[in-house]
Amino acid sequence: MTATTMEAHVAPAAPEGRLVSVARVRGMGIFLLGLSLIGVLGFGFGVSGSVHATFLLSSPPAVSVSPLDMPVRGVCIPLAVVCALLGAWLVAAPPRRGSYAIFGAGVVIFVWSFRVWAARGGSLDFVQLLAGTLVSATPLVYGALSGVMCERSGVVNIAIEGQFLAGAFLGAMIGSASHSLWLGVLAGAASGALFGALLAFLSLRYGADQIIVGVVIVAFATGLTNFLTAQVLSPDQATLNSPNTFDPIALPGLSKIPIIGPVLFNQNVFVYGAAVLLVVVHVALFHTKWGLRVRSVGEHPRAAATVGIHVVSVRYRNVILGGAIAGIGGASFTIGSIGEFSSNMTAGLGYVALAAMIFGRWRPFGALSAALLFGFAVSLQSFLAVLNVGIPSPILSMAPYVITIAVVSGLVGRVRPPAADGVPYVAG
Amino acid sequence: MTAVPAESVPAGESTTGEPSGSPPWWSTALHRMTEANVAVVTVLAVFCGLVFGAILIVVTTTSTLHAWGNVGSHPWHAISLSFRTVGTAYGDLFIGSIFSPSALGHAVSTGHGWVALFTPLSETLVAATPLILAGTGVALGFSTGVFNIGGQGQFIAGALAATYVGFGVHLPLPLHVPLVVLAGAAGGAVAGFIPGFLKARTGAHEVIVTIMLNYIILDLLDYLLTTKPLQAPHQSNSISQTIPSSATLPHLFGSGLRVNAGLIVALAVAAGASWFMKRSTLGFTFRVIGSNPDAGRTAGMDAKLATILVLTISGALVGLAGMSTLAGTDFFLSSGYGGGTGFNAITVALLGRNKPSGVVLGSLLFAALITGGRYMQAATGIPLDLTTVIQAVIVFFVATPALIREIFRLREAGSGKILLFTKGWAG
Amino acid sequence: MKLELAGITKRFGALVANNGIDLTVEPGEIHCLLGENGAGKSTLMNVLFGLLQADAGEIRIDGAAVRFADPGDAIRQGIGMVHQHFMLVPVFTVAENVVLGFEPTRALGFLDRQKARADIRRLSAEFGLEVDPDATVEELPVGIQQRVEILKALLRDVSLLILDEPTAVLTPQETDGLFTIMRSLAESGCSILFITHKLKEVLAVADRITVVRQGKVVGTTTPAESDEEELATMMVGRNVDLVVRKTAAEPGEPMLSLGALTLTDERGVTVVDHVDLTVRAGEVVALAGVQGNGQTELAEALLGLHPVAGGTIRLDGKDITGSTPRHALRAGIAYIPEDRQREGLVLGMSIGDNLVLDLHNVAPYARHGARNLTEVSESGQRKLSEFDIRATSVETPVGTLSGGNQQKVVVARELSRPVRLLVAAQPTRGLDVGSIEYVHRRIIEERDRGTAVLLISSELDEILALADQVAVMFRGAVVGIVPPGVGREQIGLMMAGAHEEGDPE
């Protein structure tokens, strides 16, 4: 980046952290046009005109709603037309701040018509699909927030996967042994923080390469949890690896709202915790003195140092806090949903969380939308496996990973990380 | 990219402070052993790894834990039991990977079983073969500023291609084996090309793309294993057809020992890579792009092409590793094939300081740990994963030589700091 | 504030950057610290500001000894610093940058942006430093960025302001404006420590002058007692020839011609706007302008390092628009990049390897894809003496050389090919006087050999010394091409956007 650009040359609407390019927006438009073609030919005319699809919309404790019954062709073709119009607009109109939102809307419309097509001749539990999305997205939100905390202060935390594993392991073990799920959460946070501290110690004090240390932490956590599972948990599964899981808490009143009630307001503490943490991190990062200092350290540590900010302490604090957040996210794998630890159970989602953070441009709410997208892919995949749409399940399970690659290779445009991200700070 | 601070200049250093002729050899040796050079740091890192492993064994074994619970009344018992437990485990590591005294006794007294005597060594060499190949591939990436974590996927891709060519083509052995070898390289190359291309064209960070490709290729393998023609006929399990003997790498020392021609391929690749990085023009380009891509571009080098090439070559070498186990020892594919080879390749590359010769030595060490670990698991019940932990600890210390220097109070020296290559996410 | 530095010594390994430096700044005084690049000025200031710790010596403020563990301590004592490389976070707004580390807050640590804006408006008005508190810093011209740096210091009620090479990024007129601000600050009782290597400025603004050379104080004087020549001699330690000796240019055929060259950055914003320019064989054309007005991108485009959005680049009549760097180099362009450490050299590699970065894969340095290391080493050895590179051997890593010797390695490499056009971007930035003289001499020699030279420099003195024609750039466009004879004032005005009033060519 050239640090200096003349006033007159600045693009009218260059949103922070993203460089709008004409070619990219045009590409997105063409992509939407392609999708609408699939929508018309594949979903619309791919089925006979009489086939219907049913979306089940009721789920306790919400007020009951009757299922939505739709003709597949009758719905998919209009949706494809809307998608095509959006695509055409992107191709024709100059790039603007809203270009990405339009693209997002187009993709959502396509996915919607895909769902209608997938449920052809049968029914799809729409509420469960959305609730599943939220559940799948939750650990990703924690992981992405961990990444935001670390990278906004200038330290690349590629060890999220390892912190997930450690949090999942210790959360299950302590939650099981102590019969207190809250102690499990605490243990998960502590284990994540410990690995955060290790990353901070080796990279900040000794200047070790952050990516190498991060990758080795993942390997270390994988080996250690595997070892301890075999050596400690397995022989004593009943006492050490059988924690309960947090029950959903129905928020009075709100959970009764049709469709969104059960999705948003009948979840367990991990989901609510993620929501609270999102708001807290966002507000703290962008509206407080603390956040201003953290961001200055991540962007230009020397500038921060010259106004008396202690760069290394800020980074230590953030990396350890970030580790704790990832650790809680890890605990959600075991005491949040499955109820026991098994080897490598996080299956690379720590890296997906990292991609969500990048997709979200190092912003909490950006990361949330990315996490929801991934969560939806995961949730949809398990639903499609049940619906038996004729796509083999290994191929379906690639979806989140393929989306991640698409995301990092520029569907979102060239992203701009904090300027000092991953760069060791040397005083003087 | 932050410029790598130049290491202290070795020229002239050896002559300072030694005015009256050369010192006696033991003094020089002592001097070398108390400074933090590459060899000393590596040995101490391995030592620290083993100590960490020992502690882990003691605190997770019920009997020792119990003994330490009573340490007040029987302190000596706790200590001696801990040493015995760890001693047995590490003794098994050695027996399983290098040499078994009891097997020697058996062979001498009966006159039979000489082959069995060499079995542990042969197994270590068998385990080292894919590590050398994959480690060299990763090291090549490292020295070009590219972090290839896609070992697992490229390994499978290589093995997959080798399997297809193995059972799908019918040729006599002298033609079939080279074709299988080439197929392995090609399979890995394709899996390496993808992240290289994406990085060069869109700036997608190879760390994320290669990791994601690992999962995608694992899923792809699962899918292919349930479909024709890969799936073994009349099988409901997810395993592939077995390749015919014409496609397998020949044994080097008879059928009793599994060490095979894959080792020759691996050593040749390591030697070739060493020459390539030191003496070839392309290797020079890679090194320049690795340490300062901007300067490379200004001097007319094509940094993007170099990125694509290096990931492709790196992938090809990891693919060869997958081929070497498939055509050397396993002969058929199963779900999750290759396990941790991708990760092990990273650790040996770091342990070997990105030099092919170092990678060979590092591979032998970690191969011994893995082979011995299997024996240990069978003999004492301590999980094989212990060796993963030990490896990770070793690499922590190798990556932070300053830590070793502080712990052991060594003097500063060229401790082979690992090349700094992090360039942030935007590529 | 009265500041005294007594016996400050700072070592980096074997190098003594500051050697027993004594310096006194009286209250309300503008004190100049004069020294050439590498004399240890910046190290001294970093010690004074708490960024580095001295190995020996004492800092006294109003007679009392103080210790600064970090810049926070220095700031609390009333010391402010405007750094040579601005210490501003590019993506922050002006207000955020100014209050960073000194944030007005409401309850719970929430930022009080209202108060921040009000404070900045008040200070702006008081000192005549016009700036929009809500502008993003990276989108401001460097001159305005410097105002933000000064505001940062003022907000903290400084009683000693350190200005480290503040004029490098300013036009002559902006420099005069800065001097006015400095004087009014001094009158209000603030002490000012002004660090520079520019003699004219020292004489224009200083109350007292301290000269440092090779880490030691050479002497203290005043503008009244001294002149440029004497200061230059003190600064360098020998008589310095302040003018570059050269004969009149004998321009030949047009070598480089740009036709409506237009470049855009990654965002599609125009950074070079329809530039027409011709450089003839045997003449030096200088691109003058404040840093960030498109010169860098223009130079990069010539070598194919920056994509061309429109227009043509012709070298000796042949269209080389959009060619790769490799092709441009082979076509006869030599390129001295703006930032030698980032773009010119691989610091961890040997001098020998750096000397053949461009030709490493062709004979005689390579054959059939294999490098000929003997030839690399032997030819490197020859270039060490030919280009006066001071190093023990060609195996020495380039990163261990001084800035001047590093630049000579770049020059040696670039001039070792058959050259038709030399593009020299900031060729003497950060060099000591000896190396500057050497590089200048080489450039003129190249010109006299019939090479076309395009010089890009933000140092007006350098441009006036070397150029046969001066093209002034402002906001991506060439606002005029004038002979150097029109003088500093005229060129300075054009650098600020005024169109040429003098004779066109």
Q: Look at residue B25 in the predicted model and tell me its pLDDT.
A: 74
What residues in A contact C138, CB-CB < 8 Å? Answer: 1, 3-5
B124 CB within 8 Å of a chain A CB: no
What residues in C contact A306, CB-CB < 8 Å? Answer: 49, 51, 71, 81, 83, 87
Confidence of residue C142 (pLDDT cuts 50, 70, 90): confident
Q: Look at residue C503 in the predicted model and tell me its pLDDT.
A: 44
Q: Taking CB atoms and an 8 Å limit, are A4 and C138 in contact across chains?
A: yes
What residues in A contact C269, CB-CB < 8 Å? Answer: 5, 9-11
> Is the ipTM value over 0.90, yes or no?
no
Q: Subunits with at least 3 CB pairs below 8 A relative to chain B?
A: A, C
Q: Look at residue C337 in the predicted model and tell me its pLDDT.
A: 94
Of B211, B223, B347, the CB nearest to A395: B223
Render the burial of B183-195: b for 16+ CB within 10 Å, e for the rest. Answer: bbbbbbbbbbbbb
Residue A41: Cβ within 10 Å count: 11
Q: Taking CB atoms and an 8 Å limit, are B287 and C349 in contact across chains?
A: yes
Q: Taking CB atoms and an 8 Å limit, are A206 and B426 in contact across chains?
A: no
pLDDT in tens, B318-329: 999 999 999 999
Confidence of residue B277 (pLDDT cuts 50, 70, 90): very high
Q: Subunits with at least 3 CB pairs below 8 A relative to chain A?
A: B, C
Do residues C489 and C458 lie in contact, with contact meaning Cβ atoms separated by under 8 Å? no
pLDDT in tens, B16-39: 334 445 677 777 777 777 777 788
pLDDT in tens, C345-382: 999 899 999 999 999 988 899 999 999 999 999 999 99
Identify the DSSP state of C302. Answer: H
Q: Look at residue B370 in the predicted model and tell me its pLDDT.
A: 92
Q: Look at residue B425 in the predicted model and tell me its pLDDT.
A: 53
Of A9, A11, A289, the CB nearest to C105: A289
Q: Which tokens belong to A322?
A: 């970030």
User: How far does B425 lie from chain C, in Å, by closest CA?
Assistant: 17
d(CA B91, CA B96): 8
Cα torsion C94, C95, C98, C100: sign: negative
The fraction of chain B above a pLDDT of 90, given in percent, is: 57
Q: Taking CB atoms and an 8 Å limit, are C71 and A289 in contact across chains?
A: no
Going by C-alpha positions, the residue among C383, C382, C397, C406 that lies closest to residue C350 is: C397
Scanning every residue of chain C, which has its alpha carbon at the shortest distance from the alpha carbon of A297?
C89
What residues in C contact B3, CB-CB < 8 Å? Answer: 341-342, 347-348, 399
pLDDT surpassing 80 at residue C87: yes
Q: Taking CB atoms and an 8 Å limit, are C326 and B302 in contact across chains?
A: yes
What residues in A contact B145, CB-CB < 8 Å? Answer: none
pLDDT in tens, B97-126: 988 888 888 888 888 888 888 899 999 999
Q: Look at residue C504 in the predicted model and tell me its pLDDT.
A: 42
d(CA C456, CA C291): 10
Task: Write the single-letter amino acid at C436.
Answer: I
Window 331-370 of B: residues touching A by CB (8 A cutoff) are: 343, 346-347, 350
What residues in C contact B297, CB-CB < 8 Å? Answer: 305, 325, 343
Which one has a higher pLDDT value, A151 or C249? A151
Scanning every residue of chain B, which has its alpha carbon at the shortest distance from the alpha carbon of A398?
B216
Q: Subunits with at least 3 CB pairs below 8 A relative to chain C?
A: A, B
Residue C265: strand, helix, or coil: coil
Distance (Å) of CA C427 to CA C300, C403, C443: 14, 11, 10
Q: Taking CB atoms and an 8 Å limit, are B392 and A212 in contact across chains?
A: no
Window 291-310 of B: residues touching C by CB (8 A cutoff) are: 291-292, 294-302
d(CA A425, CA A207): 8
pLDDT surpassing 50 at residue B94: yes
pLDDT surpassing 60 at residue C461: yes
pLDDT in tens, C180-198: 989 988 998 899 999 988 8
Compute, in degrees rounded to 10, the torsion defined by CA atoms C458, C462, C464, C468: -100
Q: Look at residue A388 in the predicted model and tell me its pLDDT.
A: 67
Lowest mean pLDDT among A114-118, A325-329, B368-372, C304-308: A114-118
User: How far does A344 lie from chain B, in Å, by closest CA?
Assistant: 12
Q: Look at residue C242 in the predicted model and tell me its pLDDT.
A: 64
Q: Look at residue C500 in the predicted model and tell me its pLDDT.
A: 57
Interface test with B, best of C341, C357, C365, C396 (most B CBs within 10 A): C357
Window 219-258 of A: residues touching B by CB (8 A cutoff) are: 219-220, 222-224, 226-228, 230-232
Per-residue pLDDT of chain A (428 residues; tens, 9 = 90+): 333 333 333 333 333 334 456 777 787 888 888 888 888 888 888 778 788 888 888 777 777 778 888 888 888 888 899 999 998 988 887 776 677 778 888 888 888 888 888 888 777 788 888 888 898 899 999 999 999 999 999 999 989 999 999 999 999 999 999 999 999 999 999 999 999 999 999 999 888 888 889 989 999 999 999 999 998 888 888 888 888 888 888 888 888 887 777 878 888 899 999 999 999 999 999 999 999 999 999 999 999 999 989 999 999 999 999 999 999 999 999 998 888 999 889 888 998 898 888 878 899 998 998 899 888 888 888 777 777 667 788 888 888 888 878 877 766 555 678 888 888 887 65
Q: Look at residue A414 in the predicted model and tell me its pLDDT.
A: 59
What residues in B contact C352, CB-CB < 8 Å? Answer: none
Which one has a higher pLDDT value, B156 or B149? B156
Which one has a higher pLDDT value, A62 or C314? C314
| DSSP of C204-253 | HH-SEEEEEETTEEEEEE-GGG--HHHHHHHHHSS----S---PPP---S
Q: Look at residue A128 in the predicted model and tell me its pLDDT.
A: 83
pLDDT in tens, B203-220: 888 888 998 899 999 999
Quick one: average pLDDT of B395-402? 88
What residues in B contact C370, CB-CB < 8 Å? Answer: 279-281
Q: Taking CB atoms and an 8 Å limit, are B399 and A210 in contact across chains?
A: no
What residues in A contact C140, CB-CB < 8 Å? Answer: 4, 7
Q: Chains B, C: CB contacts under 8 A, how many? A: 95
User: How far does B301 lie from chain C, in Å, by closest CA?
Assistant: 7
Compute, in degrees rounded to 10, the torsion defined by CA atoms A194, A199, A203, A208: 130
pLDDT in tens, B295-314: 999 999 999 999 999 999 99
d(CA C494, CA C483): 13
Cα torsion C203, C206, C212, C215: sign: negative
Q: Look at residue A263 in the predicted model and tell me its pLDDT.
A: 79
B284 CB within 8 Å of a chain C CB: yes
Interface test with C, best of B8, B15, B280, B281 (most C CBs within 10 A): B281
d(CA A423, CA B262): 40
Which one has a higher pLDDT value, C401 or B317? B317
pLDDT surpassing 90 at residue B185: yes
Window 98-117 of B: residues touching A by CB (8 A cutoff) are: none
Q: Taking CB atoms and an 8 Å limit, are A310 and C139 in contact across chains?
A: no
Which one has a higher pLDDT value, B290 or A14? B290
pLDDT surpassing 50 at residue B421: no
Residue C77: Cβ within 10 Å count: 19
Scanning every residue of chain A, which has its alpha carbon at the shortest distance from the alpha carbon of B1?
A423
Do residues C473 and C299 lie in contact, with contact meaning Cβ atoms separated by under 8 Å? no
Type and span of the H or E element at C172: helix C172-187
What residues in C contact B11, CB-CB < 8 Å? Answer: 392-393, 395-396
Q: Look at residue C1 in the predicted model and tell me its pLDDT.
A: 83
pLDDT surpassing 60 at residue B416: no
Q: Look at residue A411 in the predicted model and tell me its pLDDT.
A: 62
A215 CB within 8 Å of a chain B CB: yes
User: How far does A399 lie from chain C, in Å, by closest CA?
Assistant: 31
